[in-house]
Amino acid sequence: MLTQSQKDLVKATVPVLREHGVALTSYFYNRMLTNNPDLKETFNLAHQRSGAQAQALAGAVLAYAENIEDPSVLAPVIELVAHKHVSLNIQAPDYNIVGENLLHSISEVLKVPMEDELIAAWAAAYGQLANVFIETEQKIYQEHEQTQGSWLGWRKFKIAKKVQESSEITSFYLIPSDGGKLPPHQAGQYISVRVTVPELGHKQPRQYSLSDSSRADHLRISVKREDAQGDKIGGWVSNTLHAMQENDEIEVTAPTGNFFLFDSHKTNVLISGGVGLTPMIAMLNHLVSLDMPKPVHFIHACRGSQVHAMKQHLNDLKTQQPNLSLWTAYEHPQSSDVLGQDYHHAGRLNLAELPAEQLPVDADYYLCGPIPFMHEQHKALVARGIKPEQIHSEAFGTGGVHFS
């Protein structure tokens, strides 16, 4: 249990964390991965490379210090990250490694002796937080153990089929190499996949939303190829996947995540940007399997028709389902694209311009896409009178407050 004096010491570091938090967390990751190179197969090295991981952790450490008197306010974030950790098969002993390197990093960066009471205070604070994560994650692991067809850790899967969905996105149909069963999953959840990246010489994991509703014989992910452009290095895992062939093997963890379709008996509005449409397709397919009892509004934004994934699938569903409406924004439509047929708005998606029937006030809203896109749509929905508790979101990529 943290003493009040320890809480005060942690709170006293808030100004330092605001100014030097990223420097501290960058040092921490470098120290930990140097001392524990095996963890390079657990952590997203692309986020290390871009600095996004250090920024995310710095925000998390700051948020924890600011709320040390009542960390329960961070419960939604802890639940979110706990699912991410389970998906990466992070176990209780891993927290000891993280804690040791974090405390030494605080000592070395802030030039405070390890024997100092500040380090003892942070050790107690970290121990409290680690216990919360371990307990939360243990419950999720137990759910997997009790779910028929589910599994713990990494399991080998074969790529049974590859289907090109757009100029950038390919769907991968995955079946267990052991021929065993699959668990049911919620529409909107994700899996982690792990492949050996030739450029790195070791494995790397990534998390991908499942792009179909629950199926008994396969899982499906739809992955955007991230090409190198200028100073931007190509995506290690996505490009490795795109280069793989049918019957090649990858490693997969069981479906998890707390972003999923909550109520199929309400009107649902699904809003996506780019490859963020993947969990929305899963939700839509699930609602179709229920014969779509309530209206569904599918709103999608992308750069243009060449990168508009699963367009034909959506159009086919539209002809079959009178309760489905589609609204698409092309930032750069081509001359061959037909307004009102291929797309409905030229330019960036602007929810303020949508007709009222597309954004009913009593609906549930689901958002997925890049972080700026998410913020923009959330703000626009609230301005249209949608209550924040009606809006559910899944951030693609690193952003916000994360602890890993």
Per-position DSSP letters for 247-303, written without gaps between them: T-EEEEPPPB-S-S---TTS-EEEEEEGGGHHHHHHHHHHHHHTT--S-EEEEEEES
Cα radius of gyration rounded to whole Å, the chain:
22
Would residue 141 show up in a list of annotated catalytic residues for this protein? no
Q: CB–CB of 112/58 below 8 Å?
A: no
Cα–Cα dist 381/25, whole Å:
34
Handedness of CA 81, 82, 85, 87 (dihedral sign): negative
- Both tokens of residue 283? 């939700």
Q: Mean per-residue pLDDT for 256-274? A: 95
Is the predicted pLDDT of residue 287 greater than 80, yes or no?
yes
Cα–Cα dist 324/294, whole Å:
9
> Which band of pLDDT confidence, cut at 50, 70 and 90, is reported for residue 117?
very high
Q: CB–CB of 86/141 below 8 Å?
A: yes
Is the predicted pLDDT of residue 36 greater than 90, yes or no?
yes
The DSSP code for 168 is S
Q: Mean per-residue pLDDT for 303-314? A: 96
**Range of lowest pLDDT (48-62, 340-354, 364-378):** 48-62
Phi and psi based region of residue 394 (left: phi greater than 0; alpha: psi -120 to 50; beta: remaining): beta
Each domain of the chain, given as residue ranges in start order, spans 4-146, 155-252, 268-395
User: What number does CATH give the domain 268-395?
Assistant: 3.40.50.80
Is the predicted pLDDT of residue 402 greater than 60, yes or no?
no
Is the predicted pLDDT of residue 25 greater than 80, yes or no?
yes
Kindly name the residue from 27, 29, 137, 330 that is annotated as catalytic: 137
**Identical topology for domains 4-146 and 268-395:** no
Q: What is the pLDDT of residue 48?
A: 82
What pTM, to 2 d.p., does this model score? 0.93
Q: What is the pLDDT of residue 403?
A: 31
Nearest to 259 by CA among 379, 353, 400, 381: 400
Whether domain 155-252 has CATH 2.40.30.10: yes
222 Cα distance to chain centroid: 14
User: What number does CATH give the domain 4-146?
Assistant: 1.10.490.10
Is the predicted pLDDT of residue 56 greater than 60, yes or no?
yes
Q: What is the pLDDT of residue 230?
A: 65
Nearest to 161 by CA among 221, 251, 224: 221
199 phi, psi to nearest 5 deg: -65, -25
Kindly name the residue from 27, 29, 64, 95 that is annotated as catalytic: 95
Would residue 108 show up in a list of annotated catalytic residues for this protein? no
